[in-house]
Amino acid sequence: MKINQLLKIKYPLIQGSMARISTHKLVSAVSNAGGLGVLTSVGMDKDGLSDQIDQVRRETDNPFGVNLMLQQDNIYQLVEVLLEKKVPVVMTGAGTPAPYFDDLHQAGIKVIPVIPNVKLAQKMQDLGVDAVVAEGMESGGHIGQLTTMTLVPQVVDSVDLPVIAAGGIFDRRSVAASFILGASGVQVGTAFLGARETPIAKNYQQLVLKAGDTDTIVTGNSLRDKVRSLKTPLTEKVAQMEQTSSDDSEAQKLLVGSLGRAVYDGNVETGSFMSGTIAGEINQVRPAKEIIESMFQ
């Protein structure tokens, strides 16, 4: 089943949640255009998330999702909001949604985890999730070890669930390639950094537009910490510190709060501008609707 049928949306496209970025304006623009907009809950308390969900509902009647990063300290409070508001879809990352899964599913909420390998995909299938997002390491933000090209078919062949491909998808060629690999839909992040409705500092958007194919860098020595961002003085310094020392705690300290400094202030010296390797193809600012339609012409 294609995920547009499963999620009752026009196009089989999910806007990947982006921490501190995918707030109501981008989410409702994507959902109004026929994709599934996904709200971030990173850095939000109960009232903040509740308010964002209400704003999305004021701006669109179409389905949308909310992302739960499972290591968040206030996760139980956020789950309460999702249950109260009966959001249509919950996308989870950074762990297993097992402790919350029954409550969410019994409330009629679809649960779709993001996974980086076959083992986790199978574990999620055993839990009873509705689909999985197989995210390759081309992606912006936290990444796993496998490329989209190698991860998607291996996940497709190992589970009996709709598999959504993520990592490097931005146009109709990459959407078509995802379907040929066996995916039932696509999840897209970096391409939406070029959306008119994306609420990021102008400087952030300009850095993405200017970036070339080799302008991202991965920081984090342990698999848990690996993050892809644009090359900037900060991320290059962090990567260099990590290379010269086996203890990367000093380097990791420099990254605390750095996404916020990029998103809100566009600060190139101290911000980390998460982005995928496909940034080299994102060359103009367009409405989210135009970005989506260009992928499904």
| Cα–Cα distance measured from residue 178 to residue 183, given in angstroms and rounded to the nearest whole number | 6
> For the residues of 93-156, what is the DSSP string, one character each?
ESS--HHHHHHHHHTT-EEEEEESSHHHHHHHHHHT-S-EEEE-TTSSEE--SS-HHHHHHHHH
Closest C-alpha among 228, 229, 230, 194 to residue 211 = 230
Q: Is 232 in the site for ligand FMN (CB under 6 A)?
A: no
* Element of type H or E holding 290: helix 288-295
Rule CB under 6 A: choose which of 4, 6, 12, 16 binds ligand FMN. 16
Nearer to ligand FMN among residue 133 and residue 161 (C-beta): 133
> Closest CB to ligand FMN among 141 and 185?
141
Answer for which of 88, 97, 116, 141 binds ligand FMN (CB under 6 A) is 141
Contact between 139 and ligand FMN by CB under 6 A: the answer reads yes
Using CB under 6 A, pick the residue from 174, 178, 187, 219 that binds ligand FMN: 187
b or e along 70-82 (b: 16 or more beta carbons within 10 Å of the residue's beta carbon)? Answer: eebeebeebbbbb
Residues 6 or more apart from 244 whose CB is under 8 A from it? none
Supply the minimum distance, in Å, between the C-beta of residue 262 and ligand FMN.
9
Distance in Å from the first CA to the final CA of the chain: 20
In the complex, least distance from residue 167 CB atom to ligand FMN, rounded to whole angstroms: 5
Residue number, 176 or 247, with CB nearest to ligand FMN = 176
The CA angle 171-173-174, to the nearest 5 degrees, is 70
What torsion do the CA atoms of 24, 26, 29, 32 make, to the nearest 10 degrees? -60
Nearest to 94 by CA among 167, 19, 35, 151: 19
Minimum distance from residue 244 beta carbon to ligand FMN (Å):
27
Residue showing the smallest CB distance to ligand FMN in the complex? 189
Q: What span, in angstroms and rounded, lies between the C-alpha atoms of 174 and 189? A: 13
131 forms part of the interface with ligand FMN (CB under 6 A): no
Structure-derived torsion over alpha carbons of residues 186, 26, 71, 238, reported in degrees to the nearest 10: 90
Q: Can residue 197 be called a binding residue for ligand FMN (CB under 6 A)?
A: no
Applying CB under 6 A, the site for ligand FMN has a residue count of 29
276 in contact with ligand FMN (CB under 6 A): yes
Under rule CB under 6 A, residue 252 binds ligand FMN = no
Going by C-alpha positions, the residue among 5, 90, 3 that lies closest to residue 40 is 90
Residues 146-185 binding ligand FMN (CB under 6 A) are 166-169
Residue from the set 9, 165, 234, 278 that interacts with ligand FMN by CB under 6 A: 278
Between β-strands 216-219 and 110-115, what pairing exists: parallel, antiparallel or unpaired? unpaired
- Of 82 and 106, nearer to ligand FMN (C-beta) is 82
Does 26 contact ligand FMN by CB under 6 A? no
Residue 20, sorted as left (phi over 0), alpha (psi -120 to 50) or beta, turns out to be left
From candidates 37, 88, 140, 162, binder to ligand FMN by CB under 6 A: 140
For ligand FMN, which residue of 88, 113, 189, 220 counts as binding (CB under 6 A)?
189
Among 4, 40, 52, 60, binds ligand FMN (CB under 6 A): 40
Site for ligand FMN in 89-118 (CB under 6 A): 93, 114
Residues in touch with ligand FMN (CB under 6 A) = 16-19, 21, 40, 42, 67, 69, 93, 114, 135, 138-141, 166-169, 187-191, 274-276, 278
